[in-house]
Chains A and B, each alone.
Chain A
């Protein structure tokens, strides 16, 4: 599902590469943690998978598509197969929970009728039934992140990328979000999560890939934070 082959990414003006000759493979339906200290290159992996940045060397294959040779005008369509959740939720403040999720559908050309059918369903799935018409500022942090997860999942992507999704949440709320991601994973969606929350990693007991200074130092099935 995801294949990184000898990937090196050096940002312009950086003295050393963010990722240094990284190779890793992730199968369909896996749940993978990328862990490591700040600046280790975890987030660069998310950016590479979304093709927000291009690899300096090496090959990135996502969903059987070679991202490194993907023409830039094809990037938008490619991104529709990937759902994304971030630490800062990235919701539109002037739209309700329902409208935030529907917006994601409408801007990729789905009709209002499709949104009316699909959005309540996915909001129910993330546990926000009855709060469709609240604005983000009327929701708690955990609830806002649920909206973000609903938006990422509404299009039934093959891959869900989560970049520090619990970074702004308290431990209890974090665990609820993790349960949600776990449920999504059980539907067959590949989940890739970048985090430095050791509690969560230790509780989940899933594959852990540890990165330090741009290199993979550990890749362990059913691992702990260490």
Chain B
């Protein structure tokens, strides 16, 4: 009986104030969508780091006038490094082959290049790509080296961009969350006002505090969960529409978003949405009903 009473109160409460309920749900869903997107992005960047850092190389380009002695000294220095995982040597001819493949779309450009204009190089994989600096010291300054390039530095720039987007999304999410919480507080105040007679009688006859507060708190929680479902829907749609269709070209850079991660957002958003609204409602009631 009491459960039925409380549930009925929740539905009536949400319906009585339906414009406010809709506003609350919409801001909640946008806020949770942004939160979900930034959490997904965070997981994605982690995954991409694993993926890319595993394939990362340090390229040591040799000077045009390098001689055999210098070449062997460099090779020895690389071989002696404890950080070495794998070393390959690329001649000028191999470099040209690779270059042709890479630029196969522009034959004019390729024809203008001959093997002599490309440097020979050592390609080194490190067992720990974080320790690039340490490795660079062991070969740096040896005669016959033109340039040492760490792919990691290029990647970090890409990750910095991802990071900035993620921080931006979190920033927007927190602003939207603030608006959503204020709306929750306001909705609960309006609900408490419209039920002030019932609340006064309940206090008078000694209804327990939880029984007075439960319909209001549940009202906020239901709105929070509906908001979370909508937010998740937005997240799902944007993955399907943006990543799987429109921006598919990007998927050569961004590793595919695992569906498992996406589904993980559903309980996360619903949990955060309902918990945060419940707490907000409860705190509002403590000030407003003084039960």
Contacts and interface: CB of A to CB of B under 8 A. Distances in A.
Interface in A55-88: 73, 75-80, 84
A23 B209 CA distance: 31
B207 interface: yes
Given A106-B5, A111-B1, A90 B200 contact: yes
Contacts of A80: 205-206
Interface residues of B, number: 17
A104 B2 CA distance: 13
Interface in B209-248: 209, 211-212
Chain B at the A interface: mostly helix, strand, loop or mixed? helix
A108 B205 contact: yes
A74 to B, nearest CB: 10
Contacts of A112: 1
A151 interface: yes
A109 B212 CA distance: 12
A92 interface: yes
Nearest to B4: A112
A151 B204 CA distance: 11
Interface residues of A, number: 21
A177 B1 CA distance: 33
A93 B197 CA distance: 9
A78 B206 contact: yes
A104 B197 contact: no
Contacts of B203: 76, 79
Nearest to B207: A107
A73 B201 contact: no
B201 A90 contact: yes
Most central of B204, B206, B207 by chain A CB within 10 Å: B206
A195 B279 CA distance: 43
A92 B205 CA distance: 13
27 contacts: A76-B203, A76-B206, A76-B208, A76-B209, A77-B206, A77-B208, A79-B204, A79-B205, A80-B205, A84-B204, A90-B200, A90-B201, A92-B197, A92-B198, A92-B201, A93-B197, A103-B201, A104-B205, A106-B2, A107-B207, A108-B205, A108-B206, A108-B207, A108-B208, A109-B2, A109-B208, A112-B1
Interface of B: 1-2, 5, 197-198, 200-209, 211-212
